[in-house]
Structure 1
């Protein structure tokens, strides 16, 4: 092995094989110094490739150990100090050590001599290499055929391998593997493996190019034929497909008599459509857009039926009671008769389920002879559901409002937005905020949908929204609506509804005639009291439907003409009663008070139990109570501690006893301040041993000073008390105005005690053993009230 000392030129992103002639551009100071040194001596230099081409100042560790000794054939100085060098590779060399690193790399290299005996195996590998290289040249067409002929005629296997490798577009890592293969047989094997891989890639590229070319030829052919078809159509006087479609749309736009702004937009879209190829994806988007614009009722309206007496008659036919709602609709009709420019009102019907909010909206549409549209907002949480998607999205559509207007086919339908309190919001936006524009009378005359992108007039629409409670409706949205409360029905109302409305409807649905099924009034009353407990009439209708089914089966099976259902045989048809009518306590008890609660499904009766235990003044609360209710209990407890002596309770009771407050039906969440006076009464009763009257129910918020504050949902609570068989109801004095508005029919048979202070509640609710030694004081601001107000309605 021969060793030599040579200057080293590190190469970036390039590798030089023996026998390879190539131009190099040299610009780095060290590299220029190495070239200068080589030119001074014998023009011989060592070329080795960097492992990472990005490094400007390589160290010995950054350079491959095997390189090529090359001769500098030509040197040319370029502007800017760069050298262009023509080098020819001579033979492989292995770098043994770096002698100098400054001002250039000087290395000691070991020169390898190739002595190849042409064994049959070497010859076979050589032939295989030549064949595969020829195949590569044919398929890739990157190498000129003349070069291939020159390469194939080389007889030396090692040189052949190096020249073939220099012509292939390989990665530096693969080229370095071939350069480092000092054994010719191993070099040939590596090159054959790499060449086989390259051949496979070239074959895949060829197939892809062929497929693309065929597709392009097909497209060009179709274009050519289409152009020919156009020329033929012009000669025959026939219209082009796109022109014909455009003219059809123009005709439709003209017939639709759209507003000027809308017409201009539609005609612009038609022009776009005519310039697009018929099969383009954008053309479909434009067609859908034009179809939507033409389908919307920009100018079409139905004529209102302004006969107030007929409208009143229709509303009475469909619904019993609901005087406030009917009165509001008749007022609207009267004003419409006097003026044509009135905007449609936005009504919000609030009440428990089953009281007829949705069906009432249908009746209003029938009374006005308007189209009726209903959309449910329950669970809607995407703003695009209201305002639509922009046309840039795939599958974009207008929002539900515009869809509803298209379905209605008129500009002034009755539009029902059902379950407006059930909307939610998430990262896709707040749909309730999007509804502000729809329901604001000052804005909805130019409602803008993201898909349509044109102002649409909603001011003539009569919007009706429904909700079970007001608390879940955002305040800005509630501000734009006229709220009409629809409370639950009384027993008398339910009876009339069952006899006049529900029974005839169910008979018709079950294919029965009135003579086939007879149900007595007392039977209806029993169903209402013992088989349903609700504010509305939904469950009542289900029970009547059940009776109709059983009657139908009996008529068909036993071949009878009439089925009579009475109080005595009702259990045979509907089973054991589900509810106990009059659930008031059977006797006066200590530590148990009856409260009245309001829920989303109407009013309910709530029993609050208090037990006194030995302890240290702790207050235990159970029954899945909310934070507000717990705080009410704490406020009542503090009030009792501050007034213990006046209430006839041991003053240090909080040092000896614990109180446990429990509200039955423990799995049902309960919250709100209106149980404050009920919990306080039960605690006073338990601590003083005085019984609470069984026929007294109460509702009211308590303060630390014992004041009783007003509550909501009064009518629902009164109806719940009636259902439970309660005769006396204690309510806050400030609820007097709500009590006056409730119909006498609801208040019949009940006694109302209006209270301002907790002492008045205890006076009315507790059965006193004996009078306390100290009379309860009257608050300074209420000294003129000497006793609670009492209203009896018989």
Structure 2
């Protein structure tokens, strides 16, 4: 049989636990000839048939429970496990049994006139939770799972319940089981009484412990212990001359763990038992003190909060009666309406705001919906509906502002002035989106700020680099906790006008995550045909963005989606040459440094050679550094055969690009020569190398040379760790291969760029300004460009072109005489 279905009922005072009150009540019931227990008489709706197993005396009334003491001696008893706490002599213990087999066994005991059992604490008591409906537990038929010492208990009441039966035990004296007789249907053990060691109950030590226990119980009573009623009954009826009874019932009145209580039960020496009981009672006293302290702190905190609340409400009512202060809700609505007085609302926006205000008036300030509605109205009323600042379309003023903030960039400034001039002719700049593209540090962000200053508009900037959440652009829906509008609405709120200059920085570095694609959201925002009715997820009403001048910035345009790029007017910014950097340092940086450091010209003097050294060796953008960061990129003082110098464009500006080629083996078996390329080249550049190799081999065949046919050629483009791609190195690769095959070095201080075709045509390339700047920086003298790029060269400022000789070619036949010296 599985005894997990024995359920020890919760220890509920006063009837369920300490012995004094329970014994007295049972004595009264038994003396009055009562048959039913107190639970039945207390509630007629829960009355159940029950049987008291109390033998009657001959000739009349029943024997009081406290007077029925079985004779101590060996006995064979059913062992009942206790899973919550041990029972002590003099205590009434209720136990609910739910298992069907166990219930039948107890009913059979009743019918056979047997009423005594042994109550033993299970060794896992306090360590596990025994649920009422648990089916699968370890079997407790193993007697080794029970403590040896328990109490002899007499069943005085057996009452059926909806599930199982409830047994009421009266505990008598300590027993110890010595032998297991049967395990089914109930655990049957042989027991013997635990004999108390002789002791003088009037000894000084015994009386001292007894008095201290009583005193501690009185303190518990004064502090309002959980068992106040039981303590009162115990102190009224306690007999301090019976220390055995005092030790047991004192331990019962504590909430100690089952193992500590079992130690008291097993103790046979009275003095040690009193000592352990006193320890438990003292611990209970300290626990009650801490509990009282916690309760006091909580009550004081609650009292202060309530007092503050009541006083605040009274103050509000007094101020309202005196006209000194309006109601908070009324004052809030008044502020909302005041914000809208100078704004031009559309019919839909006006309707939504009025509906929300009416909703706010019907809500209590303590409700969560009140805060949501208040925040929503706060945002709605702070958007500058229809508020426009006046544009300053004076071209001369715009020219002055741009020149004051930026040196050079004449082509960029010209484009911006053309843009403003068109807006002056039309009367507005509506519907324009600019894209400033260029390497880092050339002044894209500051240029956008200068455009806003020239137009007299508010300026707001935010970066979308790494942004992967559409909600950052279009806002969060109001159903989310902490929801707020997107960056566009926040910008309008900050600027308080509907036509600011809004800069979207790093637009080429937007991310894409599980929360959507921000680039797709920008398609609507940057479309002048759609953004006049932009709907933010939080506001959920149309917002007119058509008056906003959007300026985007990017380092490269390749990473921008084509549909988004098509909506923008691209203005490209290139890097600065030495002359421009020198002028920037003299006119902007040095005065700024002197102002920040409070150093005049006498204290801080920087001459022009020092500035040139800083520009060429320390920094390529307008900033100063401590150690040389940039050295010349020329790998060869004089280029040997097979080495050609090209020019390349990067996101950080132009650079010199070297192409190296060597013969690695000769094909003696008659196989045609091949080309092997390294240097982390992209697919387009690999194709360009194949085209250049084919053209060079055909050209050499016409000249009667088979150098490329009979050998394997290795072509390398350093640096190997840098990815490279594009067709603009075509004529450079051809020049390198011909120089190797003819064993002739190319002209010194020569650089070239241009795409090659199989028939030798030279096609145009991009990034001419950056490449020319790189050529000047490397000290090159002659540059070969495609004829189609002649216009790009002529657009460069004179000081950029100075010191360079440029030759324009349409085919490689025109390039050939230029690359080899006569």
TM-score normalised according to structure 2 size: 0.71
Aligned to 1:461: 548
Identify if the C-alpha distance between structure 1 residues 199 and 161 changes in structure 2 by more than 3 Å, giving closer, same or farther: same
Structure 2 residue 752 is the aligned partner of structure 1 residue 698? yes
Given that 2:77 and 2:191 are in contact with CA atoms closer than 8 Å, whether structure 1 keeps it comes out as yes
Residue in structure 2 matched with residue 663 of structure 1 by the alignment: 718
Q: Distance in 1 between matches of 2:504 and 2:514?
A: 23
Summarize deviations over 1:308-355 as a string: whole Å, max 9, x none.
Answer: 677678768877564476456635653674476x74311111123455
Residue 605 (1) aligns with residue 640 (2): no
Matching residue of 1:131? 215
Asked if structure 2 preserves the Cα contact closer than 8 Å seen for 1:38 and 1:45, the reply is: no
Contact 1:38–1:44 at 8 Å: present in 2 too?
no
Q: In structure 2, the residue corresponding to 1:750 is in which secondary structure?
A: strand
Q: State which of 44, 47, 58 in structure 1 corresponds to 2:116.
A: 44
Name 1:672's counterpart in structure 2.
725
1:20, CA displacement in angstroms?
A: 0.7
Report the counterpart of residue 418 of structure 2 in structure 1.
Answer: 330
Assess if the C-alpha contact under 8 Å between 1:249 and 1:270 holds in 2: no
Question: Which of the numbers 186, 191, 194 marks the counterpart of 1:109?
Answer: 191
2:435 paired with 1:348: yes
SS at match of 2:223: helix
Contact 2:458/2:501 (8 A) holds in 1: yes
Separation (CA, whole Å) in 2 of partners of 1:69 and 1:744: 113
Question: 1:431-481 CA deviation, whole Å, 9 max, x = no partner?
Answer: 656655543435533445566565432221010112222234455643443
Shift, 1:212, TM fit: 2.0
Hey, what's the Cα distance between the residues in 1 that align with 2:377 and 2:755? 60
Distance 1:125-1:703 versus aligned 2 partners, 3 A rule: farther
Q: Any conservation in 1 of the 2:79–2:120 contact (CA below 8 Å)?
A: yes
- 1:558 is aligned to none
CA contact (8 A) 1:308 1:334 kept: no
Assess if the C-alpha contact under 8 Å between 2:436 and 2:572 holds in 1.
yes
Q: 1:183 and 1:277, CA in 2 relative to 1: closer, same or farther beyond 3 A?
A: farther
Indicate whether 1:753 and 2:809 are aligned: yes
Q: Is the 8 A contact 2:468 2:510 kept in 1?
A: yes
Matched residues in 2 for 1:347 and 1:360: separation?
Answer: 12
Equivalent in the alignment of 2:8: none
1:190 is paired with a residue whose SS is helix
Counterparts of 2:589 and 2:753, CA distance in 1: 39
- Distance, in Å, in 2 between the alignment partners of 1:123 and 1:636 is 114
SS of the residue 1:605 aligns to: strand
Query: Within 5 A, what are the aligned runs for 1:552-701?
Result: 589-610=640-661, 625=680, 635=690, 646=701, 648-649=706-707, 651-654=709-712, 659=714, 661=716, 663=718, 669-673=722-726, 674-675=728-729, 678-679=732-733, 681-686=735-740, 688-699=742-753
State the shift of 1:136 in Å. 2.2
Residue number in structure 2 paired with 1:364:
451
Cα distance in 2 between the residues matched to 1:642 and 1:507: 56
Give the Cα–Cα distance (whole angstroms) in 2 for the partners of residues 113 and 537 of structure 1: 100
- Tell whether the 8 Å contact from 1:388 to 1:450 is kept in structure 2 after alignment: yes
Contact preservation (8 Å) 1:100, 1:106 = yes
Aligned pairs, how many?
706
- Name the counterpart of 2:151: 68
Give the alignment partner of residue 94 of structure 1, picking from 162, 176, 180. Answer: 176
Question: 1:24 and 2:107 equivalent?
Answer: no
Residue 413 of structure 1: how far off its partner (Å): 1.7
Structure 2 partner of 1:789: none
Does 1:409 find its partner at 2:496?
A: yes
Residue pair 1:296, 1:409 contacting (<8 A) in 2 also: yes
Q: Is the 8 A contact 1:629 1:671 kept in 2?
A: no
Q: Indicate the larger mover: 138-147 or 357-366.
A: 357-366
Q: Tell me the equivalent position of 1:721.
A: 775
Q: CA deviation at 1:142?
A: 1.9
Match of 2:568 in 1: 481
Q: Write the distance in 1 (CA, Å) between the matches of 2:450 and 2:814.
A: 45
Are the aligned partners of 1:389 and 1:397 in contact in 2 as well (CA < 8 Å)? Answer: yes
Instruction: Tell me if 1:159 matches 2:245.
Output: yes
| 2:262 aligned residue | 176
1:141 corresponds in structure 2 to 225
- Give the Cα–Cα distance (whole angstroms) in 2 for the partners of residues 477 and 712 of structure 1: 21
Deviation, structure 1 residue 162: 2.0
What is the rounded CA distance, in whole Å, between the counterparts of 1:123 and 1:639 in structure 2? 118
Aligned to 1:17, the other structure's residue is in SS state coil
Q: Is contact 1:644–1:650 with CA below 8 Å preserved after alignment?
A: no
Residues 107 and 678 of structure 1, relative CA distance in 2, 3 Å threshold: farther
Cα distance, 1:233 vs structure 2: 4.2
Gaps of 5+ in 1: 518-522, 547-575, 770-794
2:141 corresponds to = 59
Cα pair distance change 1:530/1:604, threshold 3 Å: farther
Task: Identify if the C-alpha distance between structure 1 residues 722 and 314 changes in structure 2 by more than 3 Å, giving closer, same or farther.
Answer: same
Q: Is the 8 A contact 2:197 2:269 kept in 1?
A: no
Contact 2:664 2:711 in 1 (8 A): no
Shift of 1:187: 3.0
> In structure 1, what is the Cα distance between the partners aligned to 2:567 and 2:334?
43
- List per-residue Cα deviations over 1:415-438 (Å, max 9, x = no partner): 223343355678998765665554
Q: Return the alpha-carbon distance in structure 1 between the equivalents of residues 312 and 446 of structure 2.
A: 58
Secondary structure at 2:386 match in 1: coil
Q: Quick check: 1:424–1:430 contact (8 Å CA) kept in 2? A: yes
CA spacing shift, 1:502–1:48, aligned 2, 3 Å: closer
Alignment of 1:238-387 (within 5 A): 238-243=324-329, 245-246=331-332, 248-257=334-343, 259=345, 260-262=347-349, 293-306=380-393, 322-323=410-411, 326-327=414-415, 330=418, 333-334=421-422, 337-338=425-426, 343-353=430-440, 355-377=442-464, 386=473
**Is the CA contact (8 Å cut-off) linking 2:582 and 2:612 kept in structure 1?**
no
The change in CA–CA distance for 1:389 and 1:14 in structure 2 (over 3 A counts) is same
Distance, in Å, in 1 between the alignment partners of 2:366 and 2:104 is 66
- Residue 113 of structure 1: how far off its partner (Å): 2.1
SS of residue paired to 1:751: strand
Q: Does 1:78 align with 2:133?
A: no
How much has 1:604 moved relative to structure 2?
A: 1.9
Shift of 1:379: 6.7
CA distance in structure 2 between the aligned counterparts of 1:330 and 1:650, rounded to whole angstroms: 54
1:586 CA drift (Å): 6.5
| Residue 649 (structure 1) shift | 1.3
Q: Deviations over 1:737-759 (max 9, x none)?
A: 5555553657894112234xxx8
Cα distance in structure 1, aligned partners of 2:282 and 2:513: 57
Q: Could you tell me which residue of structure 2 aligns to residue 782 of structure 1? A: none
Cα distance change on mapping 1:92 and 1:686 into 2, 3 Å: farther
